Structure formats: C-alpha cells, structure tokens
Amino acid sequence: MSDATTAFDAFQPYYDIMVDWERRLPREGPFFQRTLATVAAQRVLDCACGTGHHVRQFARWGLDAVGSDLAPAMIEAARRLAREEGAAVRFEVADFRRLPETFSQPFDAVMCTGNSLPLAGSPDGIREAIAGMRDVLRPDGLLILGCLNFEQIPEGRTLVEEPRVRCVDNREILFLKIFRKIRRRCDLTIVVLEKTGGAWSKVESHATLWAVRQQELEGMLTEAGFGRIHAYGGYELKPFDPATSPGLILVARKAKE
C-alpha cells in the first residue's frame, strides 16, 4: 500500500481533471440516496475518499459525512476544497485496514468505491480492509464496495482504456489507463501527458491491484460477519454479470449484535 500512497500523492494534481465529477456525481447520486436510506443513514464514512467529492455531496444532503484516504496529498486537497465550499466535513489520513485507530464513533454506513479496495494488493490485505470497515460500523450497518470487473481484463494481455483528453487553462492533458493482469495480480499504470506552451511533459503513476472476483469478495464478506449481500453491475442497480458488467458493486449489512 505504501507504493500506492506514493503513486496517488504524485497523481493528485491531475485527479480532479481526469474524473468528470459534473457528470459522475449526478449519475451516482440516486444510487447512494436509495441505498443509504435503507438503514436511515445519518453518519457516513467514505474510507477511500480521494479529494472528497462524495463526502461533500453527502454533506449537502444533510448527512454527517466523513472522509479518509491513505494519500496525504488527497486529504490536503479534500480539506482545501471543503473550505472553499464552506462544507463542515471531517477528513483524515487513514489506512482503510486500520480504521478503528482513527475513528472511535460508529458509522451507519461505510463506502469504499472507485476501485480502491483492490489496492490492498492481496486476499489478506482485502480481508484486513473489510475487517477495518466492519469494526467502525454500527450493528446492522451498511457497507458499499465498488471495484472493476476484473473478468473483463484478458489474462496475460495489456488492456489500454480509451484515452481521455481534457483542456484546462490552455493546457492539453491526455490520460491513459493501462492494465496488465497476470493470474490474480493486475498492474495499473496511469500515464498523464500534458502539453503547455508547445512542450510536452509526462507523469506516470503505478499501482498493483488484486484482481478480486465477485464470489471471492462475497465469501470474504460472509467470513467477516456480513449478510444480505447484493451484487450490482453499476449504479443503475442492474444485476452483476461477469461477462458484460464493467464494474462490480457489492452492498452488504453487518450482522446485528
């Protein structure tokens, strides 16, 4: 995870340029509103919050929203954006495998989306992360996990996503995501090419993901004491199909005590 922290710290200046938040938040919002309402959630943690866009969205809905991330640069940016917006939200640097070390009061819901969970890098790392999230949830609390459908990445081949091009302040920026999966390990490289004043520069970020599958992840949730597990292929709540779904979203409930 330390390599991932360094990578995302270096990538932070480009993160909010690459992600189209103006389209993403309205598209995902109905899913979160509907899902959080199933437990009448008031206190919510996004434990891989990046620069905090979902956290600030939840705060606008009147929730007690908290964000954490392992990358200090992401949390610094999240706090700055919250101040600029006047949002009264809390952000902390925290490892999602050790959330109880940072948070003592339980949450009604915890989310870890944006393909962050596979950054734990191994089955044991993912189990630790699930346990960390469980331990800061109230009994019968809600857990939302989101990651890529790794079945869509061919074994032993390099997959390059469609390039994304952004033009910001007279800068032309091109983003490439490159995946290479060997057995259950998936190496991710994000290449940023920036043209400013006729000159090009390049930034690369590298991370190793564990290519977790639906049944494997559901088994880990069950072992950790979660039940009522539902698998979706996207934020439109369509059933997950390993052959066609671009992503995997799991919604689960912590056992009642």
pLDDT confidence band for 8 (50 / 70 / 90) = low
Q: Which residue has the higher pLDDT, 92 or 3?
A: 92
pLDDT digits 0-9 by tens, 30-85: 999 999 999 999 999 999 999 999 999 999 999 999 999 999 999 999 999 999 99
129-156 burial, b at 16+ Cβ within 10 Å, e below that, comes to bbbbbbebbbeebbbbbbbbbbbebeee
Query: Is 70 exceeded by the pLDDT of residue 3?
Result: no
Q: Which residues contact 187 (CB under 8 A, 6 or more apart)?
A: 179, 180, 181, 206, 207, 208, 209
Which residue, among 125, 108, 177, has the nearest Cα to 148 in the 3D structure? 177
47 and 120 in a common domain: yes
The reported pLDDT for the residue numbered 12 is: 80
Residue 164 token pair: 């994304």
Q: Are 22 and 57 within 8 A, CB to CB? A: no
State phi, psi for 53 to the nearest 5 degrees. Answer: -65, -45
195 and 231 in a common domain: no
123 and 78 in a common domain: yes
pLDDT confidence band for 4 (50 / 70 / 90) = low
221 and 106 in a common domain: yes
pLDDT confidence band for 196 (50 / 70 / 90) = confident
Quote the mean pLDDT of the chain. Answer: 93
CATH number of 84's domain: 3.40.50.150
Residue 121: which domain range?
Answer: 2-149+211-254
Last residue of a domain, one of 172, 190, 209: 209
- Tell me the average pLDDT across 151-164: 89
In percent, the amount of the chain with pLDDT more than 90 equals 82
120 and 197 in a common domain: no
Residue 169's identity, in one-letter code, is D
Query: In whole angstroms, what is the distance from residue 150 CA to residue 119 CA?
Result: 13
161 and 145 in a common domain: no
Question: For 117, which DSSP code?
Answer: G
230 and 137 in a common domain: yes
Query: Is 50 exceeded by the pLDDT of residue 2?
Result: no
Query: Is 60 exceeded by the pLDDT of residue 153?
Result: yes
202 and 76 in a common domain: no
pLDDT digits 0-9 by tens, 86-128: 999 999 999 999 999 999 999 999 999 999 999 999 999 999 9
Contacts of 223-227 with CB under 8 Å at 24 or more apart are: 223/127, 224/127, 224/130, 224/131, 224/134, 225/134, 225/254, 225/255, 226/130, 226/134, 226/143, 226/252, 226/253, 226/254, 226/255, 227/252, 227/253, 227/255
225 and 180 in a common domain: no
Residue 177 token pair: 């995501």
How many distinct structural domains can be found in the chain? 2
Residue 191 token pair: 């290449």
15 and 82 in a common domain: yes
141 and 30 in a common domain: yes
Q: Which residue has the higher pLDDT, 257 or 217?
A: 217
pLDDT digits 0-9 by tens, 222-250: 999 999 999 999 999 999 999 999 999 99
129 and 67 in a common domain: yes
Query: In whole angstroms, what is the distance from residue 132 CA to residue 182 CA?
Result: 28
Query: Is 80 exceeded by the pLDDT of residue 218?
Result: yes
State phi, psi for 31 to the nearest 5 degrees. Answer: -60, -50
